[in-house]
A and B are shown apart, each in its own frame.
Chain A
Amino acid sequence: MRETALSVPVKVWATACAILGVSLTANTLLTCFLALLAFCQLVFEKRWRLCLTFGVFYLALVLLLYLIRFHSLRMVVFSEFYVLMFYNLMPVFLVAWDLITTPPGQLSAALSKIHTPTPVILGLLVVFRFFPTMKAELKGIRQSMKNRRLTGPVQVLRHPAVTCEYVLVPMLLRCLQIADQLSVSAIARGAQSPGVRGSYYARKLQLADFLWMGIWAIGTILFFIIGGIK
Chain B
Amino acid sequence: MIRFERVNFQYADSEAGVTDICLHVRKGECVVLTGPSGNGKTTLIRLVNGLAPAFYTGRFSGCIQIDGKDRSGEPLWKRGKTVGSVFQDPGSQFFSSEMPGEVAFSCENYGFPHEKIVLRTDVAIRRFRLEQLRDRSLDVLSSGEKQRTAVASVYAMNPPVYVCDEPTANLDGQGVKELREVLQGLKREGCTLLIAEHRISWLMDVADRFVYIRDGAIQWERTPKQMRLLPSEVMKQLELRAVQHCMPSRLSIPAVTGSPLLSLKSLSCKRGKHTIWENLNLAAWAGQIIAITGHNGAGKTTLAKIVAGLERPSKGSISLHGRKAGSSRRRKSCWYSSNDTGTQFFTNSVTEELFLGIFRTEEQLERARNLLKKLDLYAYKDAHPAILSCGQKQRLSIACGLLSDRKILLFDEPTSGLDGGNMRKIASALEDAAAEGKAVLVITHDEELIQACCSFQWDLSK
The contact of A185 among B95, B114, B332, by CB within 8 Å, is: B95
Residues of chain B with a CB closer than 8 A to A153's CB: none
Give, as a whole number of angstroms, the nearest-CB distance from A127 to chain B.
Answer: 11
Q: Can you list 18 contacts pairing A with B, beta carbon distance less than 8 Å?
A: A105-B96, A118-B109, A125-B96, A128-B97, A137-B343, A145-B346, A169-B346, A181-B93, A184-B51, A189-B80, A189-B109, A189-B157, A190-B106, A193-B77, A193-B109, A198-B117, A200-B100, A200-B114
Closest to A177 in B: B342
Most chain A beta-carbon neighbours within 10 Å: one of B97, B121, B356: B97
**Assembly CA distance A200 to B103 (angstroms):** 9
Known A147-B336, A181-B87, A181-B92; contact A200-B117, beta-carbon cutoff 8 A: yes
Q: Would you give the shortest CB distance from A189 to chain B, in whole angstroms?
A: 4
Q: Are A187 and B51 in contact (CB under 8 A)?
A: yes
Bound complex: CA A122 to CA B106 (Å): 12
Q: Are A198 and B110 in contact (CB-based, < 8 A)?
A: yes
Q: With the chains together, A193 CA to B89 CA distance in Å?
A: 24
The answer to whether A149 has its CB under 8 Å from any CB of chain B is yes
* A104-B101, A147-B335 known; A193-B346 Cβ under 8 A: no
Minimum CB–CB distance from A223 to chain B (whole Å) comes to: 36
CB distance from B29 to the nearest CB of A (A): 21
Interface size class of B (residues with CB under 8 A): 35 or more
Q: How far is the CA of A103 from the CA of B339 in the complex (A)?
A: 31
**Contact call A185/B93, Cβ cutoff below 8 A:** yes
Contacts of A145 in B (CB 8 A): 346
A-B pairs, top 7 by smallest CB distance, nearest first, are A185-B93, A105-B101, A200-B104, A190-B80, A140-B343, A193-B77, A190-B109
Interface contact B77-A191, CB-CB below 8 Å: yes
Nearest chain B residue, comparing its CB with the CB of A113: B114
From residue A131, how far is it (CB to closest CB) to chain B in Å? 10
Indicate whether B312 reaches chain A with its CB closer than 8 angstroms: no
User: Once the chains bind, are B109 and A146 in contact (CB under 8 Å)?
Assistant: no
User: Is B458 an interface residue, CB under 8 A from the partner?
Assistant: no
In the complex, which residues 53-80 of chain B have their Cβ closer than 8 Å to any Cβ of chain A? 54-55, 75-77, 80
B261 an interface residue at 8 Å Cβ cutoff? no
Bound: A18/B127 CA distance, A: 45
B272 is an interface residue with CB less than 8 A from chain A: no
- Given A147-B308, A190-B157, A200-B117, 10 additional A-B pairs, CB 8 A: A122-B95, A132-B97, A140-B338, A140-B342, A145-B346, A147-B336, A147-B337, A170-B346, A194-B77, A200-B100
A179 to B105, CA, bound (A): 17
How many A residues touch B, CB cutoff 8 Å?
55
CB-CB nearest in chain A for B112: A198
Q: Chain B: which residue is nearest A155 at the CB level?
A: B357
Contact with B97, one of A122, A129, A194 (Cβ below 8 angstroms):
A129
Task: Choose among A147, A149, A198 the residue that contacts B108 (Cβ–Cβ < 8 A).
Answer: A198
Most chain B C-beta atoms within 10 Å of own C-beta, residue among A181, A189, A194 = A189
CA gap between A187 and B75 in the complex, in Å: 11
A148 to B111, CA, bound (A): 49
B406 to chain A: closest CB distance in Å? 10
A148 touches B342 (CB 8 A): no
Which A190-208 residues sit within 8 Å CB-CB of chain B?
Answer: 190-202
Interface string of B41-54 (1 = CB under 8 A from A): 00000000111001
Report the separation of the CA atoms of residues A137 and B157 in the bound assembly, to the nearest whole angstrom: 31
| Assembled-state Cα–Cα distance A137/B340 (Å) | 10
When chains A and B are docked, how far (Å) is the Cα of A149 from the Cα of B309?
Answer: 11
Tell me if A182 counts as interface (CB < 8 A to partner B).
Answer: yes
Residues of A within 8 A of B382 (CB): none
Scan A76-110; emit 1 where CB is below 8 A from any B CB, else 0: 00000000000000000000000000011100100
Asked if B345 is an interface residue, CB under 8 A from chain A, the answer is: yes
Q: Which of A125, A137, A170, A185 contacts B345 (CB 8 A)?
A: A170
The answer to whether the Cβ of B186 comes within 8 Å of any Cβ in the partner chain is no
A166 at the interface (CB under 8 A from B): yes
Contacts of A186 in B (CB 8 A): 95
Report the minimum CB–CB distance from A5 to chain B (whole Å): 13
Per-position 1/0 for B299-313, Cβ under 8 A of A:
000000100101000
Given contacts A137-B343, A144-B343, A166-B346, contact A198 B111 (CB under 8 A): yes
Q: Please, what's the 1-or-0 string for B393-425, where 1 marks a CB less than 8 Å from any CB in chain A?
A: 000000000000000000000000000000000
- How far is it, in angstroms, between the C-alpha of A200 and the C-alpha of B99 when the chains are bound? 11
Q: Select B117's contact among A140, A147, A199, beta carbons within 8 Å.
A: A199
Q: Which of B55, B76, B95, B139 contacts A125 (CB 8 A)?
A: B95
Q: Which residue of B lies closest to A144 (CB)?
A: B344
Contact B95 A170 (CB under 8 A): no
- For A188, give its contact among B80, B117, B338 (CB under 8 Å): B80
Given A125-B96, A149-B331, A181-B89, verify A189-B106 contact (CB < 8 Å): yes
The CA-CA distance from A147 to B7 in the complex, in Å, is 48
Interchain CB contact under 8 A, B108 and A199: yes
> Are B80 and A197 within 8 A (Cβ)?
no
- In the complex, chain B residues 131-174 whose Cβ is within 8 Å of any chain A Cβ: 139, 153-154, 157
Is residue A150 within 8 Å, beta carbon to beta carbon, of the partner chain? Answer: yes
8 A Cβ contacts from A201-221 to B: 201-202
Cα–Cα, bound, A143→B75 (Å): 44
- Option from A183, A184, A199 in Cβ contact (under 8 Å) with B114: A199
* CB <8 Å contact, A191 and B87: no
- A62 an interface residue at 8 Å Cβ cutoff? no
Q: Does B288 contact A (CB under 8 A)?
A: no
> Are B310 and A147 closer than 8 Å at their CB atoms?
yes
